[in-house]
Amino acid sequence: MQELVISASNLCVNVKEKQILKNVSFSARKGEVMALLGGNGAGKSTTIKTFLGLMTPSSGSVSLAGVNVHQQPDVVRQKVAYLPESVMLYGHLTAIENIKYFLSLSGKQKTAGDIAEALQRVALQEASWNSALAGYSKGMRQKTAIALALLREAPILFLDEPTSGLDPVAIDEFNRLVKQLAAQGSTIFMVTHDVYGACHVADRIGLLHNGEIVGMFDAPEHGNIDSEVVHKAFTAGARNE
């Protein structure tokens, strides 16, 4: 049996007086892709921020590769790469300069060849590698950030709405890449609105509604995901806003 890499146990998160996450428990094993689906305000971003150590649980715990996120944040940082929904790398730096900067920040050193290979792998046009990111489209910035995540070789990837704003071709490319990384042993946790995309790439899908997990489906069951549950999760979330 594969080791547990991502684990949330009875996780509760309060912001001021409001309870955002209520007794959320789930886990993902090495090489798995887990997607958390939910409407706006369901608690997806809070979940991801808690795993990244940016928010503190009121009760319960989260661990990555067996390490408590809030007790050993520096250890956890080495194991995690994060792709935010809106990738805002430095606009005054080129793609290569950005990658070099962030790699150095994470303590990694890669050759120019490695960087070029990663940029080719995410299909970023070579002509733009040395242009300032200020002129990039959202998709191009996303690709640069994915290249960075690849180069960091982090065993755990957190993706926040990774396909939001990408064109269908770019989404296909991205999904292919996610599957490839998982096959190589990376554990991937993504939060998304995209039910179709999640079904396409995820080994496990959780449905989050009002801060609670209302459904958990493994890959063979994707076809059996209760559309009513999905519908309820999304519409209730929207109503709550």
Partner 1 sequence: MSWLDICRETRFVLHKKSVALVLLVGFLLALFSVWTGSVEVAQQHATIERMQKADELDQAGVTKRYDEAGLLAYYTFHLTYAPPSSLAFAAAGVRDVYPWKHRIRMLAIEGQIHESDTQNPELAMVGRIDFTFVIAVIAPLLLILLLHDLRASERAAGRLDFLSITARTGYSLWPLRAVVVVLTLWLALVLPFIAGAIFNGVSAGLILSVIFIALVYILLWSLLCYWVARFSFSAPVLASFLIGFWLLTTFIIPAVANVAIDKGFHGPQGGDILMTQREAVNDAWDIPIETTMQAFVVSHPEWADKTQVKSLFEWKWYYAFQQLGDEAAKPLAQAYQQTAEDKYRAAGWVAWLSPATLLQRTLTDWAHTDAKAAWRYEQKVRDFHAQLRHFYYPLLFSDDKYHAEVLDARPVFKP
- Alpha-carbon distance of 70 to 187, in angstroms, equals 20
Q: Which is nearer to partner 1, 34 or 154 (CB)?
A: 154
State both tokens at 129.
């590698």
Sort strands 67-68 and 33-38 into parallel, antiparallel or unpaired. Answer: unpaired
Please tell me whether residue 105 binds partner 1 under the rule CB under 8 A: yes
CA-derived radius of gyration, the chain: 18
CB of 172 to partner 1, least distance (A): 25
Strand intervals (E) in the chain = 4-15, 18-29, 33-38, 59-64, 67-68, 80-83, 156-160, 187-192, 204-209, 212-218
Taking CA atoms, 183 is separated from 17, 32, 178, 203, 216, in Å, by 42, 8, 9, 11, 22
Contact track, partner 1, 19-58, x by CB under 8 A: ------------------------------x--xxx----
Where does this chain touch partner 1 (CB under 8 A) — which range of 19-27, 104-112, 123-131, 182-190? Answer: 104-112
CB of 183 to partner 1, least distance (A): 24
CB of 34 to partner 1, least distance (A): 18
CB of 52 to partner 1, least distance (A): 5
Sort strands 187-192 and 59-64 into parallel, antiparallel or unpaired. Answer: unpaired
Please tell me whether residue 101 binds partner 1 under the rule CB under 8 A: yes
Contact track, partner 1, 55-84, x by CB under 8 A: ------------------xx--xx-xxx-x
CB of 101 to partner 1, least distance (A): 6
CB of 153 to partner 1, least distance (A): 13
Please tell me whether residue 88 binds partner 1 under the rule CB under 8 A: yes
User: What is the DSSP annotation of 2-56?
Assistant: PPEEEEEEEEEEEETTEEEEEEEEEEEETT-EEEEEE-TTSSHHHHHHHHTTSS-
Instruction: State which of residues 92, 127, 135, 168 lies at the interface with partner 1 (CB under 8 A).
Output: 92
- Alpha-carbon distance of 107 to 59, in angstroms, equals 32
Q: Which is nearer to partner 1, 149 or 233 (CB)?
A: 149
Is residue 132 within 8 Å of residue 94, measured between CB atoms?
yes
CB of 156 to partner 1, least distance (A): 11
Residues interacting with partner 1, by CB under 8 A?
49, 52-54, 73-74, 77-78, 80-82, 84, 86-90, 92-93, 101-102, 104-107, 109, 152
